[in-house]
Structure 1
Amino acid sequence: MTTFETDAVSQTPRGEAARTSEQPVRWSVPLALLACVLLAFFDKISIAALFSDEQFQQAMGIGFDTTRLGLLMSVFLLSYGFSSVFLSGLGDRIAPVKLLTGMMVVWCVLMALMGITHSYAGMMALRILLGIAEGPLFPLAFAIIRHAFPARLQARATMMWLLGTPLGAAIGFPLSIWLLNAFGWQSTFFTMALLTLPVLALVRIGLRHVRMQPARGRETASADERRTARRELFASPHFWMICVFNIAFLTYLWGINGWLPGYLIKGKGIHLEHAGWMSSLPFIAMLLGEAIGAWLSDRMDRRALACFISMAGAAAGLALVLNLSGPLPTIAAMSFSTFMWGVGAPNIFALLAKATRPGVSATAGGIFNGLGNFAGALSPVVMGALIAFTHSMDSGLLFLVAIAALGCALLLPLLTRY
């Protein structure tokens, strides 16, 4: 595949112009990454379906202890964020197919071990190891797309594998619940382990042409060059601005994921029998936003502007929700907000690519993804505390509006450059 070098002034991939018919764009790459992200999301959420299962509680020896059950998810998120920050640099040194293959083999083994574990401490340890093993996935996917696609197609290619997260939620929860009810809690882990095998085959086939070469065509970069590139990355104010913007971006996502159904029921008085299908409409709108935003931004190549408009639109939609009543107007405004957020999702990775050098793609993506998930995962907790303190569901949405406004302000210096 073509190697892309970034000009320090223009931020334009030099290798794009050199692409020939012998170096085609291969859409099998993001499709393989989509399958990988789907599998990882299944592994991530499968345990949530077990929290109310008495047999699982008895096997762990904890009963319905919500704190200890919740910790099984929390320790995963913490180790995932840690791994994303500190281990993603492996993607700049190890061939992507080899690294992904090794990661997926570890996922398979860990899921199988969870299926035979009858110890809470053992399950905690395995969840921590799973978080460490999955942490480099998003940074690696970002680096692969950056090297395998010209800049004009990167948002669309990124959108394809990012869809694995909402699709994973839409498919993974029903699948886990069905397996639990039909075959018992252990079957959920064993099934996820078996699903690794066909996904691994897709990854081996889909990524077989990817060759992530360092700049200027050399097969390996010296340790001095890597250290220099990392120093430039860490000293870049634009890189850190984008990282902080991503914190605001993911704070919105985690806040909406955690509180949307509760807000519709408690905050707007929408009846429980209506809230189920209504609460899914904003996420359908989010998917549409991702697809449309990726296509438009690749045509315009104004990544910072696209992210700015996305976050500003999401905040405006939430502000509108606060001033509306009735099920249909409320859900329409909420769907507009999530649609606008979706417009920015693929663009934020493309913005990161424009602001950083190719040689540290995985390192940059790891810090970017890890910090965003660390801080974003606190959003539901902060919103819950605000709601409890003010006795108003609206205070949670006001928090998201304020965070979105802060994110927009951070992008102002980048609008004309990227």
Structure 2
Amino acid sequence: MKFDHNPTLERDAASAPREIPREVVRPKHHLRWAIIGIIILLTITNYLDRGNLSVAAPQIMQDLGISHAMMGVILSAFVWPYAIMNLPTGWAVDRFGVKVLLALAAGLWSLVAILTGFARNIGTFIGLRIALGISEAPLFPGALKATDTWFPDREKAAATSAYIAATQVGLALAPPISTLLMAAFGWPAMFIIMGLIGFVALAGWLVLYREPEKHPWLHKDELRYIREGQATAQQASDAPRVTVREWGGLFRHASVWYMVIGGFCLQYVFWFYIGWLPTYLQQAQGFTLSRAGWLSALPYIAGGVAVLIGGRFSDRLVRKGLDPFNARRYTIAGAALLTAGAMFVTALVNGAALAVVMLTLGMFTYSLSSGNYWTLAAEVVTTKKWVASVGSIQNFGGFLGGAFAPVVTGIVVDHFGGFVPALMLAGFMALISAGMYGLALRHRLPV
């Protein structure tokens, strides 16, 4: 593949003025954070719908006579369509606007959740999981676009980190909420109730979201604060719409591929946790099923805290004068490097308690990157119209890593000596990600 690598253009883009006011008078009004609030609610419902099937799986298998192998197929049916749909949905957000796309997405994933309550055969479950993967794909490209529109540069990572932290909240809440609803009403009603919660979040989005210049509730002081704090002053509503041909041209730039590879390796680590953490705790460390379930929550609790810390840390670097592009990529690279160390130590330690501590530390350090992972897409481009497209392309790479991680880990555990080499592999993936973001990705896209 021939990359369109123009050093002059990229050097000019990288050195373009990024004036961030040092002394800023913050407005008394905070509508921008209400926007983040409704995105958080959408994210939690998204992750509740994503995780509730794994909680209901044992009961569904018993009621419908579905084997473990076939349930694995049903559960994995979500990942591949989600990864693939990140590519066109990012373009669609840039082309048609964030309000319309997120409204359609939230409505569809909530409807899919409700319909899952009526599924009674394998084919229907697989079809609905595919539909869920397709419908949930626009969430983060759309949320990124909204954040880039509504926040000054100095607050973008903190704002992004807030709804990224909500993913950890959703992962932590899905088991207890799903279990309580199933105990009270049964698994079909659990899916239906979860879907109805999604429609409540959708209603909030439709009522609250507008472009800043068109929002009747936005005070002029807050609008001025937002726009004066943005290095790219072009409004999202005024940006030219992205054509398919222009979108395809993004793949000619080496920086895009560095982000795809870095995202692949970084998300491989995350999905190692999601797919294999409880099994590792039971089989490699000897915990009981119930104890492993409770201990599995610890890394996600630590991760939720770390997401917020990582976003505020890179925002602080920006306020101190570091270029936002460099602040985001350095934070990601540093987090990935620390995560690699935690994985290597986990592989080598003796003692179950220490292994749990190191795995919790590993998710903490990984999560320092999470908000910056998305914010970087807004900083690597020079015009707003590409924000969702670049973010979704990066996340496509990330979810490819997520799709491979459970399968590769299983093969390594079965054929190459158990969880020690699997943990070492996850550590090497984190190292590669650190290299991509910290060393290879040095130039903004000249678009």
Please give the range of the TM-score, normalised by the shorter of the 2 chains: 0.7 to 0.9
Equivalent of 1:198 in 200, 205, 229: 200
The change in CA–CA distance for 1:218 and 1:107 in structure 2 (over 3 A counts) is: closer
Q: What is the deviation of 1:94?
A: 2.1
Q: Partner residue of 1:235? A: 252
Are positions 1:262 and 2:279 aligned together?
Answer: yes
Equivalent of 2:71 in 69, 84, 96: 69
AA matched with 2:161: M
Q: Secondary structure at the match of 1:93?
A: helix
Kindly indicate whether the alpha-carbon contact (under 8 Å) linking 1:285 and 1:335 is maintained by their aligned counterparts in 2.
Answer: yes
Q: Partner residue of 1:343? A: 368
Q: Greater shift after overlay, 239-248 or 18-27? A: 18-27
Kindly indicate whether the alpha-carbon contact (under 8 Å) linking 2:329 and 2:376 is maintained by their aligned counterparts in 1.
Answer: yes
Percent identical: 25
Q: What is the deviation of 1:64?
A: 2.9
Are positions 1:283 and 2:300 aligned together?
Answer: yes
The change in CA–CA distance for 1:327 and 1:203 in structure 2 (over 3 A counts) is: same
The change in CA–CA distance for 1:199 and 1:394 in structure 2 (over 3 A counts) is: same
Q: Partner residue of 1:368? A: 394
Extract unaligned runs of 5+ from structure 1: 1-6
Kindly indicate whether the alpha-carbon contact (under 8 Å) linking 1:12 and 1:354 is maintained by their aligned counterparts in 2.
Answer: no
Q: Partner residue of 2:35? A: 29
Mapping for residues 200-215 of structure 1, pairs under 5 Å: 200-210=202-212
The change in CA–CA distance for 1:13 and 1:186 in structure 2 (over 3 A counts) is: farther
The change in CA–CA distance for 1:417 and 1:44 in structure 2 (over 3 A counts) is: same
Equivalent of 2:97 in 95, 98, 107: 95
Equivalent-residue separation in structure 1 for 2:119 and 2:258 (angstroms):
43
Q: Partner residue of 1:82? A: 84
Q: Alpha carbon RMSD of aligned pairs, Å?
A: 3.0
Q: Partner residue of 1:4? A: none
The change in CA–CA distance for 1:211 and 1:165 in structure 2 (over 3 A counts) is: farther
Q: What is the deviation of 1:156?
A: 0.6
Are positions 1:292 and 2:274 aligned together?
Answer: no
Kindly indicate whether the alpha-carbon contact (under 8 Å) linking 1:28 and 1:207 is maintained by their aligned counterparts in 2.
Answer: no
Kindly indicate whether the alpha-carbon contact (under 8 Å) linking 1:95 and 1:211 is maintained by their aligned counterparts in 2.
Answer: no
Kindly indicate whether the alpha-carbon contact (under 8 Å) linking 2:266 and 2:433 is maintained by their aligned counterparts in 1.
Answer: yes
Equivalent-residue separation in structure 1 for 2:388 and 2:442 (angstroms):
26
Equivalent-residue separation in structure 2 for 1:111 and 1:272 (angstroms):
28
Deviation string for 1:275-309 (max 9, x for gaps)?
44433322222222212111111111311111111
Q: Secondary structure at the match of 1:243?
A: helix
Equivalent-residue separation in structure 1 for 2:29 and 2:19 (angstroms):
15
Equivalent-residue separation in structure 2 for 1:88 and 1:348 (angstroms):
15
Q: Secondary structure at the match of 1:51?
A: helix
Kindly indicate whether the alpha-carbon contact (under 8 Å) linking 1:250 and 1:376 is maintained by their aligned counterparts in 2.
Answer: yes
Equivalent-residue separation in structure 2 for 1:330 and 1:123 (angstroms):
36
Equivalent-residue separation in structure 2 for 1:42 and 1:198 (angstroms):
14
Q: Greater shift after overlay, 206-215 or 271-280? A: 206-215
Q: Partner residue of 2:8? A: none
Deviation string for 1:190-240 (max 9, x for gaps)?
1022112321232234423546999755956556x6467535522221122
Q: Secondary structure at the match of 2:96?
A: coil
The change in CA–CA distance for 1:57 and 1:82 in structure 2 (over 3 A counts) is: farther
Kindly indicate whether the alpha-carbon contact (under 8 Å) linking 1:92 and 1:362 is maintained by their aligned counterparts in 2.
Answer: yes
Equivalent-residue separation in structure 2 for 1:96 and 1:86 (angstroms):
14
Q: Greater shift after overlay, 35-44 or 100-109? A: 100-109
Q: Secondary structure at the match of 1:208?
A: coil
Q: Partner residue of 2:136? A: 134
Deviation string for 1:98-135 (max 9, x for gaps)?
22222222223323322233343233222222221111
Q: What is the deviation of 1:25?
A: 6.4
Q: What is the deviation of 1:373?
A: 0.8
Q: What is the deviation of 1:330?
A: 2.5
The change in CA–CA distance for 1:215 and 1:71 in structure 2 (over 3 A counts) is: farther
Equivalent-residue separation in structure 1 for 2:151 and 2:375 (angstroms):
11
The change in CA–CA distance for 1:273 and 1:126 in structure 2 (over 3 A counts) is: closer
Equivalent-residue separation in structure 2 for 1:144 and 1:71 (angstroms):
34
Equivalent of 2:152 in 135, 150, 153: 150
The change in CA–CA distance for 1:125 and 1:26 in structure 2 (over 3 A counts) is: same
Equivalent-residue separation in structure 2 for 1:410 and 1:373 (angstroms):
17
AA matched with 1:378: F
* TM-score computed with the length of structure 1 as normaliser: 0.87
AA matched with 1:32: I
Q: Greater shift after overlay, 330-339 or 296-305? A: 330-339
AA matched with 2:99: V
Length, aligned pairs only: 407
The change in CA–CA distance for 1:300 and 1:64 in structure 2 (over 3 A counts) is: same
